[in-house]
Structure 1
Amino acid sequence: MKILIVIPSIGSVYGGPSKSVVELAAATASQGIDVDLVTTNANGDQTLDVPCGSWLKNHSYRLQYFPAWFKGDLIFSWPLILWLIKNIKNYDLVHTNYVFSPLVTITHFIAGHKKVPYVATPHGMLEPWALAHKKIKKKIFLNLLEKAKLSQASGIQTLNSSEAQNIAKLRLNAPSFIAPNGIFAPDFNPLPQADLFLQTFPATQNRKLILFLGRIDPKKGLDLLAPAFAQIHRQFPESHLVIAGPDNIGYLATAQKMFQEAGCQKAVSFTGMLTGKLKYSAIAAASVYVAPSYSEGFSISILEGMASGLPCVFTDACNFPEASAVAKIIPVGQQKLADALTWCLANPEEAQQMGQQARQFIFEHYTWDQIATQMITVYQWILGQGPKPNCVTTD
C-alpha cells in the first residue's frame, strides 16, 4: 500500500494540524506502510529554510517541499500541482488535509480525474464557528466547489463525534470515520525539567503558572481569558499566565491590549511559539493548562497538557467530551473559566490527582500508534483489502 499525504504547509505557525499530519505520517509509516508527504515551503509571512523539489527522509516516511506563493492562510504552488498531475497515479490512495484551500481542491480534481481514491480531513474547518468566520466567502466556495469534491471522497476523517455530527448536516455522500489526534508517549515519559523555561523567562520564576499553548487567534478565546485571569490574579497574586504560541495573522497587539485593559498585563508573559525541549520545559513548569477556545477540531495541545499530567481546563467547544472525568470541561464563558481555574489553584492536591488521571487516560487511548493502526484499517477497507472498520459510517 502506497499512500500520498497532501497538505498546503507543515510550517509551525499554522498550529496543531501541521503537527498532527506529520506525526500521523510517521506513525503510519512505522507500521510498514509506504508513506510520502508533499507540501510547500510556506510558513506564515516567511518561507521555510528547506530544499525544494527533492525527497527528504523524515523518520520512516519521505517528505518533499515545493515552492509556493502565499498570503496569510492562502497557499498555492504550481510546481506541486504539476508534480501531482505527473505522479499521483503512482499511489494507491491520497490523503488530503484542510478545506477552503485551492491547492487541496485542485488535488481532489486531479485525483478524481486520475481515478485515485482520496480521503479528506477538514481539521475542524467545517465546524459552525469556523464556517461563520468569513462566512460569505466560505459559503460560496463550499457550494461551488467544496461540497462536490468532498462528496466524491472515499472517506472523510473527522476528529471527534461533534465534528462528525456537524459534517453529517452538510449532507455529503461520502463515508466518514472518526480518528482523533494523538501523542507520542515517549515525548512525555519522562518530562524534562522546568529549569530551561524558567531561566529563559525569568518573570515566571516562583509563580504558579497557568499555561496557554496555541496560536494567537480570535477563536482561541483570549478575550475570555483576559478578564478571567484578572479575577484570578486578584485572588492568587502569585499566579502568572504564560501565553505560548505564534501570531500568524497579526492579532498579538489586540490580544495584549485585552490584558492591559483587564489590568493584569504585568502577570502575563507572551513567549511566542515554543518548540522542542523549551516547550516541554514550559509544560513541566506549569501548574494548570487552559484552552478557552470558541472552536477546535481536536487540540493537540490539550492532549499534550493532559499527557503531561497537568490539570486541564478547556471549553466544550474543544470537542473532547470523552475527557470529562479527567479534566474540567466548561461551557464557553468568562465566569465559568474563572471558576474552573480558581478551583485548580485553590485545590492543588485534587487538581494534581486529576492531572495524573488525565495522563493515564491519554496514554491508554490517544497515542499515535493506536490511531495509525485505526487509519490503516480504513485505508485497507477503501482499497478493498479488508472489512469495513467499526469507525466508518456510510449512511
Structure 2
Amino acid sequence: MKILHVIPSVSPVRGGTSRAVLDMVRALRDSGIDAEIATTNDDGNDLLDVPLGTLTRYDGIPTYFFPRFSPPLNALREFAFSGAFTTWLFRHIAKYDSIHVHAIFSYTSTVTMAISRLRGVPYLVTPHGMLCQWSLDRGGRKKQIYLKSIERANLDRAGAIHLTCEQERDDVMALNLKAETFVLPLGLTEIPAKIPDAANLLRQNLNCPADEPIILFLARLHYKKGLDYLIPALGKLRERRFTFVLAGSGTPEYEAEIQSLLRTAGIEDRTRMVGFIEGTQKDLLLQGADLFALTSHSENFGIAVLEALVVGTPVLLTPGVGLSTVVRDRELGYIAELDIEAITEALARYLTEPHRVQQMGVYARKFSIENYNWDRIAADLIRVYQTIVDRQPLPSILGTAKVN
C-alpha cells in the first residue's frame, strides 16, 4: 500500500504536529507501508534549506519539499501557498492508494483534499486540534467562513477523520460532519536514552543547588499555552524554592510579554529562558526536571507531555490538554482548572509531596511506554487505511483505536 502524507510544514519550529507526522510515517514504513511526505519548505519566518521538487530524505523519511510563497505579510506566509506543490500533486496523486492529510485551514491541506475528491483518490484527515472549539473561536469569522464555504465539503467527503483523544472527538462531533471519526493516540518512535545523573547535570548547567525543585515548560511560546496563568501562579509561590525553566521560542512581541509577566510575578531572577531546544539538551531538561507544566487553553494531544511522561517526569496539565483525562485517571501528575488559584494549589501540592511525585514518575514511564508505542498505533492505522482504500465503513476497527 502506498500512502502520501501531506502537511504544510515539517519544521521543528512548528512544534509537536511536525514531530508526530515524521514519527508516524517512520512507524508505518517500519511496518511495511510505502509512506512518503509532501510538504513545503516552511521554517516559520524562514525557509528550510532543502532540495525542492524532488524526493529527498528528511530525518530519514522520503519527503518532497515544495517552495512556500513567502510575502512580507505573515498571514499569507502561514497559509503555506505553493503553486509547485499543486502542479506536482495533480500529476502524481493517482500513484498513491490513499492520501493522509494533516492539519487544515492551510493551502496545502485544502488543495490536497480538493484534488483527491476530483481524482477519486480516498483520503484520511487528521486535523491536529484545528477543529477543537477553542481553535475555531480564536479564528473568528474568517475561520468560520472558511470552514463553511470550503473545508466542510472536504471534510464531509473524507474516508475518515482521525482524532487523537475523546475530548477532540467531542468537539468535532458537535460540527455534525458527515465523515466517520475514530480515536487513535499519537506515540513516540523511541524512548530517549537514559542520561546518567540527569538531575544533577541539569542543576549544574543551570547553576542552582543540587536539591532545587525544577519546573519545566517546554513548548512553543504562544498565548494558547496559558503562560499568563502559569507564571502568576508561580509568582504566588515565590517564597518557596524552585527554578522555572522556559524552553521554547515565539514571536519577539510575545517573548517580550513573557518577560513582562515574569517581572510582574517577581520570578524573573529564578527563571531560565533557554529558547528553542532539541536533541541532547532537550533530553536533559525532560529527564532532569521534577515537573513538566503545560497549562494550555487547548491541546488536541500534547506530544511534549508524552515526551515527559515516557522519561518518568510527572506533569501538571489543565483540562484543555488532550492527555489530561489519562493523566488524571492514571494519576500520572496533577490536573488543575485553567485558573491562577487552581494552578497555584496544584504547584503547592507538588512542592510539598516529593515522594508521591517520584512514584508518579515511575508509573508514568511504565504506562506511557506500554500504551503509546508507535508499533501498536501504526498497526491500527494500517487497518484504517485498508478500510478506506476498500471504501468500507469503519466500525470494525473502532474498538482498537483508542487507549483505555
TM above 0.5: yes
Aligned to 1:121: 126
- AA aligned to 1:10 is V
Check whether the contact 2:123–2:388 (CA below 8 A) recurs between aligned residues: no
Gaps of 5+ in 2: none
Aligned with residue 168 of structure 2, among 141, 160, 163? 163
Does residue 322 in structure 1 map to residue 326 in structure 2?
yes
Distance 1:74 1:338 in 2: 38
Does residue 241 in structure 1 map to residue 249 in structure 2?
no
SS at match of 1:351: helix
SS at match of 1:232: coil
Aligned to 1:53: 53
Deviation at 1:110, TM superposition (A): 0.6
Distance 1:379 1:160 in 2: 19
Distance 1:281 1:103 in 2: 35
Distance 1:55 1:356 in 2: 42
Check whether the contact 1:196–1:278 (CA below 8 A) recurs between aligned residues: no
Distance 1:199 1:3 in 2: 46
Aligned to 1:299: 302
Aligned with residue 95 of structure 1, among 92, 96, 100? 100
Aligned with residue 221 of structure 1, among 206, 217, 226? 226
Check whether the contact 2:166–2:183 (CA below 8 A) recurs between aligned residues: yes
Greater alpha carbon shift after TM alignment, 52-61 vs 149-158: 52-61
Greater alpha carbon shift after TM alignment, 110-119 vs 128-137: 128-137
SS at match of 2:397: coil
Aligned pair count? 390
Deviation at 1:3, TM superposition (A): 0.2
Aligned to 1:33: 33
Does residue 178 in structure 1 map to residue 191 in structure 2?
no
- AA aligned to 1:2 is K
Greater alpha carbon shift after TM alignment, 52-61 vs 274-283: 52-61
SS at match of 1:247: coil
Check whether the contact 2:15–2:220 (CA below 8 A) recurs between aligned residues: yes
| CA separation of 1:198 and 1:77: change in aligned 2, threshold 3 A | farther
Check whether the contact 1:45–1:248 (CA below 8 A) recurs between aligned residues: no
SS at match of 1:353: helix
Aligned to 2:194: 190
SS at match of 1:51: coil
Distance 2:147 2:202 in 1: 43
Check whether the contact 2:5–2:101 (CA below 8 A) recurs between aligned residues: yes
Distance 2:196 2:69 in 1: 38
Distance 1:274 1:196 in 2: 16
Distance 1:60 1:177 in 2: 29
- AA aligned to 2:38 is V
Deviation at 1:197, TM superposition (A): 4.9
Check whether the contact 1:192–1:280 (CA below 8 A) recurs between aligned residues: no
Deviation at 1:208, TM superposition (A): 1.7
Does residue 378 in structure 1 map to residue 350 in structure 2?
no
Check whether the contact 1:41–1:68 (CA below 8 A) recurs between aligned residues: yes
TM value normalised by structure 2: 0.92
Identity %: 33
Deviation at 1:232, TM superposition (A): 2.1
**Deviation digits for residues 121-151 of structure 1 (CA, Å, limit 9, x no counterpart):** 1100111111111311111101111111100
Does residue 367 in structure 1 map to residue 373 in structure 2?
yes
Aligned to 1:278: 281
Check whether the contact 2:114–2:154 (CA below 8 A) recurs between aligned residues: yes
| CA separation of 1:192 and 1:111: change in aligned 2, threshold 3 A | farther
CA RMSD of aligned residues (A): 2.0
SS at match of 1:124: coil
